[in-house]
Amino acid sequence: MKRFMIGMAMGLTVVGLLAGCGRQSAALVTVAGSTAFQPFAEKLAEQFMAMRNDVNITVQGGGSALGIQAARSGTAQIGMADLVQLPPEAAELVSTTVARDGLALIVHPANGVTNLSIEQVRGLFNGTLKNWKEAGGADQSVRVVSREAGSGTRSSFEQTVGGIRLTAEAIIQDSNGTIRETVANDPNTIGYLTHGLLSEKVRAVRVDGVDCTEAAILEGRYKLVRPVFLLTKGAPGGAAKDFIDYVLSPEGQGMIRSYGLLPAK
Taking only the tens place, the pLDDT of each residue in 64-122 is 999 999 999 999 999 999 999 899 999 999 999 999 989 999 999 999 999 999 999 99
Q: Is the pLDDT confidence value at 19 over 50?
A: no
CATH 3.40.190.10 range(s) for the chain read 2-100+228-263, 101-225
Fold of 101-225: D-Maltodextrin-Binding Protein; domain 2 (3.40.190)
In whole angstroms, how large is the CA radius of gyration of the chain?
19
Q: Does residue 193 contact residue 106 with C-beta atoms inside 8 Å? A: yes
Taking only the tens place, the pLDDT of each residue in 226-255 is 999 999 999 999 999 999 999 999 999 999
| Average pLDDT score, the chain | 90
> How far is the C-alpha of 223 from the C-alpha of 212, rounded, in Å?
9
Taking alpha carbons only, the member of 140, 139, 137 closest to residue 112 is 137
Taking only the tens place, the pLDDT of each residue in 109-155 is 999 999 999 999 999 999 999 999 999 999 999 999 999 988 889 99
Taking alpha carbons only, the member of 27, 37, 103 closest to residue 67 is 37
Domain 2-100+228-263: top CATH class: alpha beta
Q: Is the pLDDT confidence value at 4 over 60?
A: no
Q: Is the pLDDT confidence value at 12 over 50?
A: no
pTM higher than 0.85, yes or no?
no
Taking alpha carbons only, the member of 206, 133, 103 closest to residue 124 is 133
Q: Does residue 67 contact residue 153 with C-beta atoms inside 8 Å? A: no
Over residues 185-197, mean pLDDT = 94
Q: What are the residue ranges of helices labelled H in the chain?
A: 38-51, 64-73, 118-126, 152-161, 176-184, 214-218, 238-248, 250-258
| Strands 203-207 vs 115-116: parallel, antiparallel or unpaired | parallel
